[in-house]
Amino acid sequence: FAVNLFRTLPPSSNPNGAEFDPEEDEPTLEAAWPHLQLVYEFFLRLLESQDFQPSIAKRYIDHKFVLQLLELFDSEDPRERDFLKTTLHRIYGKFLGLRAYIRKQLNNVFYRFIYETEHHNGIAELLEILG
């Protein structure tokens, strides 16, 4: 999963800081989406499987994994952010030991958005997770 999804996101398509207007502007879609979609769907099915054992998977789904997942929320592709939202929600539900860490890192994303960057593509999706 990690090898296929975790990557450096391309620079913003609005580098001048122009605000994205969903009614006027088209979102930038990820060229590799067909591949990424398969990986997300496979991973979600794994997390939702009756045979899934978080006690075994916690060696792989750890703090670093969650941090890399949260970084992808800044993707300009709304399809990817939607899958990320579902994926993070499933991880939050299955891995009780990661809940406090996930909440802390979500707060860090919000603080960075408010006090530093003032731009993040996935703020709405992250707020939906908390709601």
Cα(130)–Cα(85) distance, integer angstroms: 10
CA–CA distance, 79 with 93 (Å, rounded to integer):
22
Q: What is the pLDDT of residues 91-124, one digit of tens each?
A: 999 999 999 999 999 999 999 999 998 899 999 9
pLDDT in tens, 37-61: 999 999 999 999 999 999 999 999 9
For 55-96, write each residue's pLDDT tens digit. Answer: 999 999 999 999 999 999 999 999 999 999 999 999 999 999
| 81 and 73 Cβ atoms separated by less than 8 Å | yes
Give the model's pLDDT for residue 3. Answer: 83
Q: Are 129 and 73 in contact (CB under 8 A)?
A: no
Query: Residue 124 is which amino acid?
Result: A
pLDDT at 20: 53
Axis crossing angle, helix 78-94 with helix 123-130, rounded to the nearest 10: 30
At residue 17, does pLDDT exceed 70? Answer: no
